[in-house]
Structure 1
């Protein structure tokens, strides 16, 4: 996708800093708690716009926590591109 849109792809920018259980059987509240502070950003961002690409978004807990981590690392804007919404 990055190549076709001529935008850089940073697969290693974010890492999960703790192992979290699968979310398929969790309620929305449990998913938020499960994802809380689950991600770390590997380098500072200097106002860049970052796009998160997700295949399926259910409650949004994962992308919300990831976006929060990116903003704390200095992202100027975070957008979410989702293929499907459950």
Structure 2
């Protein structure tokens, strides 16, 4: 129920005077990514998200906010959905970047 990325998005949206929309939803609960290998993370994120309102995506340049970016698996899975829905570009903004597991 706690969405850190949405809180960061709202802060940046207010500071930069840009609209914020909470469009991605988890289709099913997934185990935490922490401690998983890159391959396990990709399997964990397969079909994990769906769009709440796909009509708002077509033709848009979007910023996807991720609180912590490690391997990029979650961001890549989410960006792929947005691009398939017709976004023209998806940039990833993250609050923190950590080393990938094993590095």
Instruction: Using structure 1 for the length normalisation, give the TM-score.
Output: 0.91
Indicate the residue corresponding to 1:68 in structure 2.
80
Q: Which whole-Å CA distance do the structure 1 matches of 2:88 and 2:28 have between them?
A: 25
Runs (5+) with no aligned partner, structure 1: none
Equivalent position to 2:90, from 65, 75, 78: 78
Alpha-carbon deviation of 1:63? 0.3
* Structure number having the greater strand percentage: 1
How far has the Cα of 1:6 moved from its partner?
A: 1.1
| Counterpart pick for 2:32 among 22, 25, 41 | 22
**Superposed structure 1 runs of 4+ greater than 2 Å apart:** none
Could you list the per-position Cα deviations for residues 16-49 of structure 1 after superposition, in whole angstroms to 9, with x for gaps in the alignment? 1111111112101000110012111122222101
Q: By percentage of residues, which structure has more helix?
A: 2
Q: Which runs of 5+ in 2 are unaligned?
A: 1-11, 99-103
* Number of residue equivalences: 85
Output the TM-score relative to the length of structure 2.
Answer: 0.77
